[in-house]
Amino acid sequence: MDEALAIAFQESKAWEVKFSSPDVLEVLCNPSVKVDIGRHSCTCTQWQLNGVPCVHAVCAIKKSGKSLNACVEHYFHVECYREAYSRTYYACSYAVET
Ligand SMILES: [Zn+2]
């Protein structure tokens, strides 16, 4: 995950951003997009669909000085993965008709 975000930042490094508010920024690329960090959204819609900041959001978050990890949905964090697999799961047995 960290590597993907680092690659996204490298791609977007040259883009300029304009602040509309502390959480809402316009990323000046082609085409330009609006990123709302507080709502975890970008007008390209990739952030809303994937739960991981898109390349525009990574650019906006980095240039705003906010934490990139805090902007990734919690279910992509290691703690959430460990919590999901911390319990014992038993296989179900049932007859399969062919
Ligand atoms: Zn985007």
pLDDT digits 0-9 by tens, 58-90? 999 999 999 988 888 888 888 999 999 999 888
Q: Tell how far the Cα of 97 is from the centroid of ligand 1, in angstroms.
A: 48
Taking residues 40-61, what's their average pLDDT? 94
Q: Is the pLDDT assigned to residue 1 strictly greater than 80?
A: no
Q: How confident is the model at residue 28 (pLDDT cuts 50, 70, 90)?
A: very high
Q: Tell how far the Cα of 48 is from the centroid of ligand 1, in angstroms.
A: 9
Q: Is the pLDDT assigned to residue 44 strictly greater than 90?
A: yes
* Pairing of the two strands 16-19 and 33-36: unpaired
**Percentage, residues of the chain above pLDDT 90:** 58
Which residues lie across from 27 on neighbouring strands? 17, 33
Q: Tell how far the Cα of 55 is from the centroid of ligand 1, in angstroms.
A: 6
